[in-house]
Structure 1
């Protein structure tokens, strides 16, 4: 068995059986290809079936010099999954990664924007330019619906159910969910569609795509990152922000204002409630307030 074919089969398995997103698949493939390149560079001729713990440990030590603990942990997790797959398919009897521990990493919590900071970012947009109206709508939609950046770029006109007050979102693994959308955000989307998008020469492949670039094509993930980074500089916001910051802020603000964690989980499209809890980094004062307000014996 060759590494190239084994990796290809594993990625196909993850796509078909596990329904993982394209971004996740690319990360797994990149890490496994890194191992393959390490073996080639060091002229180590060994198949995936024969690779042992000592060899893999040496590769991980090499990786550890180049990447942060979080990335190292991802590589280890990816390798563990790969060899589990080989065991599952009966190519191997054991997983050589079983006794290799991931580095201990602290929970990394992204920055959260306050409502005032979100308003500052929106105020920094130059609305005299056509893309300004589009960019304002993008920020309003990211924050109002808690979307991932890929969910935003792939949002379609046919996904908008404004009469019902929802949008249909295609999440990780092509899973569909309905997310409520406020009239406030609907208003900006309608302005963008009626006054800006209608004047763009739309490419055939993007006729149903909501947010377009000036050439009438779907916006890239990188473009959304650039828009937000540039606005943060203009607004004088020093935090390290990205499109995901709006999703995190969406979840945090909802919880702070009393929303149910399960409802937030559904809106974010998390399979596990544990994933949703990672977003919730409220300070102890807020938790104490919740106890005083809701616990039956707090007034005694």
Structure 2
């Protein structure tokens, strides 16, 4: 019998389920002893795999390269994202990926904040790294939890999107006209202003993509092709340029030089993207529909487009019409209160001895 009474009210277990593995222990009750014996027998009869999976000893940089080979190469900005992630791995000391913890990441985030990094940029980089672990886990390349699941994104004050006024647009066009070395810059900027395109989308246009008074953008960020109408006169100018020069040259640096020369100051990181913001802002201010704008800009969700909704002439107009002071003459109330206070002071002065 593997369970015996010790004579003093306790129960002793002495069991050897398999040769060479013996378990001995004393319990206060027979029920506890019985459960312990059953547990020992169960552990010994469990099947042992012949080829156990070796522990994953890959470093974080190797995991990032693996992600790029399996998935990252399919993303439009995949190579740029991989380089960002590799730099992040270097800052973390390139640890073994399975040993990476939320504490390591929180420490990195603090050092980046103290060095002056923008919170939104930090959140973006952490989102990229989280996607690496999620994608590799989905593909079955790793089987351990994502260390970024415990990291909450930073909260920060949302910045107001900048856009150019009509006067500033004229200043910018004049500055672009003075760029003799880059004939492409002005037309690329005009494409962005006329269609809301990203700079890279406008810069990659070809003659075949401009026809029937419209431009068609391909290889976009959202992977969707979209066609935006333009004027016949603008199409004629684009055709004339392509027939003479072939296609646009890389001219972002020239645009930034012209922007600086124009005297227009913009928030950090909004130099070329300000053209897209300008199109969207004027579209809404001139009465455009927010759903139409979503399709024109190629946004995947309406949330992104709603950043421009506050510029609509009718946006939140009910706040003016339905607020508790609407129709209430606050100026006359103030005058009555002031007059009443004055009369009270006069009365007090009269009654004084």
TM-score, normalised to structure 2, is: 0.64
User: Given the alignment of the two structures, is residue 81 of structure 1 paired with residue 131 of structure 2, yes or no?
Assistant: yes
Counterpart selection for 1:4 from 61, 65, 70: 61
Map residues 52-201 of structure 1 onto 2, 5 A cutoff. Answer: 52-66=101-115, 67-90=117-140, 91-126=142-177, 129=180, 131-132=182-183, 134-161=184-211, 163=212, 165-170=213-218, 171-172=220-221, 174-194=223-243, 196-197=244-245
Rounded to whole Å, the distance in 2 between the matches of 1:189 and 1:96 is 50
Alpha-carbon distance between aligned partners in 1 of 2:274 and 2:302, rounded to the nearest angstrom: 19
User: Residue in 2 aligned with 1:200?
Assistant: none
C-alpha contact (below 8 Å) 2:164/2:274 kept by paired residues: yes
For 1:29 and 1:81, how far apart are their aligned partners in 2? 12
Aligned 8 A contact 2:206 2:242 in 1: no
Output the CA distance in 2 between the equivalents of 1:75 and 1:233. 29
Give the Cα–Cα distance (whole angstroms) in 1 for the partners of residues 76 and 165 of structure 2: 30
* Higher RCO (CA-CA < 8 Å; seq separation 6+): 1
Pair 1:228–1:93, CA change in 2 (3 A): same
Q: Whose radius of gyration is greater, 1 or 2?
A: 2
CA distance in 2, matches of 1:61, 1:140: 41
Distance 2:88 2:320 in 1: 54
Would the alpha carbon gap of residues 135 and 55 (structure 1) be closer, same or farther in structure 2, given more than 3 Å must change?
closer
Rounded to whole Å, the distance in 2 between the matches of 1:71 and 1:185 is 37
SS in 1 for 2:241: helix
Unpaired stretches in structure 2, ≥5 consecutive residues? 1-57, 322-353
Q: Secondary structure at the match of 1:49?
A: helix
SS in 2 for 1:258: coil
Change (3 A) 1:128 1:168: closer
- Consecutive unaligned residues of structure 1, counting only runs of 5 or more, are 198-206, 213-218, 294-300
1:204 is matched with none
- Corresponding position of 1:287: 315
Shift of 1:286: 5.4
Which secondary structure state, in structure 2, belongs to the residue aligned with residue 172 of structure 1?
A: coil
Write the deviation string for residues 130-155 of structure 1: whole angstroms up to 9, x where unpaired: 744x4332222110011111101211
SS at match of 1:287: coil
How many aligned positions are there? Answer: 260
What residue in structure 2 maps to residue 20 of structure 1? 75
Q: Aligned pair in 2 of structure 1 residues 292, 63: CA closer, same or farther (>3 Å)?
A: closer
- After superposition, the C-alpha distances for 1:21-66 in whole angstroms (9 at most, x for unaligned) are 22xx2453234213421344xxx7x421232222332333333333
Distance 1:12 1:275 in 2: 30
* 1:263 match: 292
Q: Calculate the aligned-residue CA RMSD, in Å.
A: 3.0
Higher helix proportion (structure 1 or 2): 1
CA contact (8 A) 1:252 1:281 kept: no
Secondary structure, counterpart of 1:167 in structure 2:
strand
Q: Take 2:205 and 2:119, find their aligned partners in 1: how far apart are those partners?
A: 34
Counterpart contact for 2:172–2:259, Cα < 8 Å: yes
1:33: which partner in 2? 86
